[in-house]
Amino acid sequence: MARPRVLSGIQPTADSFHLGNYLGAVRQWVTMQETYDAFYCVVDLHAITVPHDPAELRRRSRVAAAQLLAAGLDPERCTVFVQSHVPEHAELAWVLNCLTGMGEAGRMTQFKDKSAKQGESAASVGLFTYPILQAADILLYQADRVPVGADQKQHLELTRDLGQRFNHRFGETFTLPQPHILKEVEKITDLQDPTAKMSKSSSSPQGILDVLEAPGTLRKKVMRAVTDTGTDVLADDDNKPGVTNLLRIQSALTGTPIPELEARYAGQGYGTFKKDVAEAVVEAFSPIRERTEKLLANEAELDRLLAIGAERAGAVARGTMATVRDRIGFLPRA
């Protein structure tokens, strides 16, 4: 039987992925390439929904792709590609735009959050239709599952609604995808403000652990992470959010269950514990950083790998779009 298909996307909006991206998305993607027919996409079309610098976008798209490959995505086992290399994303997005109600799009909470930052009227129409482009990404590949963070649930619901609407109006065309949400994804928080999510847009540099940063800096940030009053290394979201976050990080990176870690550090205070968390982070990130640097040093090779991905993705996308064009009533080109 054919493997179920997954598709996911990540924005090239930073010079490095951070720990939240790594645990919440990238590492999960690497595992899923073994059991799914997996498509992973650097979503540069989404990245221009807010003001951007062209040279920076180009660099960050390569950095994002290189980190995905460096983290273990294998072009022999999955398809890694850049969204803008497959023009069908924008084409299907247009069709779906025309099936989406203004009110429906206006209910997307992420747009409300993101546009509030710039002032609602300064936000682009592209930012408003961002979730519809995301729906196109997913439906184009007939994905069965979409590995994402819990904050993407509403976008997945919209994707299913739009797929279903198209199917009802124009005939069965799209697979309706299920979200694939991991618990720990929701839980990595800012080292300086452990009640807030670790996030590129809202965390301070001291609150974020970047995959590509130097081991010395990573160690410093962990050692300076906000811990809580008391000395016990115990998981307790309400009273010890800082320690709990570090426990989650160490547990996720080393595979050791939290109760086992609690027992290990009983009576030892925070110092030893934090040192070990720092080492776990450095050990996880160093090989990825080194491989990323190697890939970025050979741009031609990186671009060749991305062209292979674009070819495979394009073949699927063209197939879906041919059906969509026909169903929607576009005239075939002679």
Is 200 known as a binding-site position? Answer: yes
For 178, the 3-state DSSP assignment is strand
101 assigned ligand-binding residue: no
Q: Nearer Cβ to ligand TRP, position 46 or 197? A: 46
Buried b (16+ CB within 10 A) or exposed e, 28-53: bbbebbeebbbbbbbbbbbbbbbeee
Of 299, 1, 282, 13, which is closest to residue 130 (Cα–Cα)? Answer: 13
- Calpha distance 10→280 (Å, rounded): 24
Which CB sits closer to ligand TRP, 69 or 146?
146
Q: Count of CB atoms within 10 A of residue 332's CB?
A: 7
Q: Is 188 annotated as a binding residue?
A: yes
* Structure tokens given for 155: 């976008």
CB of 102 to ligand TRP, least distance (A): 20
159 vs 244 by CB, closer to ligand TRP: 159
Tokens 């996409």 appear where? 41
The answer to whether the annotation marks 149 as part of a ligand binding site is: yes
Which position's Cβ is nearest ligand TRP? 9
Where along the sequence are the contacts to ligand TRP (CB under 6 A)? Answer: 7-9, 11, 43, 46, 134, 137-138, 146, 148, 152
Indicate the burial class of 270 (C-beta count within 10 angstroms; 0-12, 13-18, 19 or more). buried
Cβ-based nearer residue to ligand TRP, 41 or 324: 41
Catalytic residues: 114, 197, 200
Annotated binding residues for ATP, written as ranges, equal: 11-13, 20-21, 149-151, 188, 197-201
Annotated binding residues, written as ranges, equal: 11-13, 20-21, 137, 149-151, 188, 197-201
